[in-house]
Amino acid sequence: MSPYDLHPRFKAQYDANNQEFSISGVVRPQTADDLGSSIALLRDAIGRVRGVLYVNVRRLTQMNNAAFHAFSRIILDACRARPDLKFVVITSSVVGWTSRKFGRLSGIEPNITVEEYDSEFYPGQGFLEEGGFVPILRTQTKMTWRHERAILPRHGMRPGIVMADICCGIGDFAVLVQKEFQPSRIVALDHSMTSLSYARRVMREFDIRGIEYTYGDASEMLLDEAQFDLVTCRHSLQIFNRPELILKELYRICKPGGRVYITNEKNSHCLGEPRSESINWTYNEVAKLFAHFEMDVELGPKSRRYLLEAGFEDIRVESFMVTNLDGDPQDFADVIEAWSDVYAGEMAARRGDGPEFVERFRQGFQDHIFAALHPKGYAGWPIWVASGRRPQ
């Protein structure tokens, strides 16, 4: 191991959810050999993806020629070996040299596109820079997927099954399931045309096959009854004012002997340390805020009762905690920042909350972010998983 590896000043990582290889920080090795693990990671990413591989260098602050040529060589070689694969390099207008340096690659290979990521807030506020809530939804799924990929087989997931993902949102969960478990067929339904449009675009870009996105109302679906081995519905019952209507439909489209899998939260159990009192107060207020709009973000532990009352048997319940230690703590912080903007923003305003309350409410989210990013801190977001079998 070289002295450079002992004191790395940069981070290279691959996000399978977004098909994105990213490098951030200061990359100044003496030779390309000093980048062995990062080069191997890039090669592995190239071997895994189909369609488009995003190479994100917008948080790269310094890179010497040894590093630039090492990474560029891998990308150029891949273009020649795999003409089916396209590369999109994301640079930053704030670190202008990245656009100039990586821009040369697009002049060499037509399958390489360079997109300049324009922002005046670099390097923070990532979700705002990228326009909307979609990146945060993808981050949430990425964080929960680390747990759910191990949990799902205990609730009926296995290769070759026919499944439905109801209230699929932007479709990222269906994509991850398709890659990991290879069901023979996935029907993914949502009532948001915008979300479905995004999901279909991702499917085309990543050359994903086997997912049928469809528009529909989860409480009154046009899908035939008894056709799916597994029906999933994640984080959705808690935001409908009559979750029993959704469960009735999930039961109907599930085959006898098949299972319905649901996930829900109990927001008042979100926690953090330090500043635990402020955090606890804010998330208790989140539960009250959602209740005002007839949504129950405390539904998680009630899942067993709901499934029993809907007629399911063999109920299995477990919970997991998404934490700042699961991966990059900044991912956790970005999710909380997005919650703060929505909950202490538009939702609080619509309820008619005064400025003094909103200030204290927002401070609790900031304290949760502080706990997540603190070197000795801990921050958690609990989720309940439950499934039930439709009787034969």
What is the tens place of the pLDDT at every residue in 317-375? 999 999 999 888 998 998 999 899 889 998 999 899 999 999 999 999 999 999 999 99
Tell if the pTM clears 0.85, that is, is over it.
no
Cα–Cα separations (whole angstroms), residue 361 to 222, 342, 345 = 41, 12, 10
Digit-coded pLDDT (tens) for 41-52: 999 999 989 899
Tell me which amino acid residue 214 is.
Answer: T
pLDDT at position 4 over 80: no
* Dist. CA 387–CA 131, nearest whole Å: 35
Res 7 pLDDT > 70: no
Spatial neighbors of 69 by CB under 8 A, at least 6 apart, are 32
Select, from the ranges 18-32, 194-208, 372-386, the one with the highest average predicted confidence (pLDDT): 372-386
Kindly calculate the radius of gyration of the chain based on its CA atoms and give it in whole angstroms: 23
Cα 223 to Cα 160: distance, rounded to the nearest angstrom = 20
Using pLDDT thresholds of 50, 70 and 90, give the confidence band for residue 116.
Answer: confident
- pLDDT tens-place string over residues 245-283: 999 999 999 999 999 999 999 999 999 999 999 999 999
What average pLDDT score do residues 236-250 get? 92
The CB density around residue 75, as the number of other CB atoms within 10 Å, is: 22
Counting every residue written for the chain, the total comes to 392
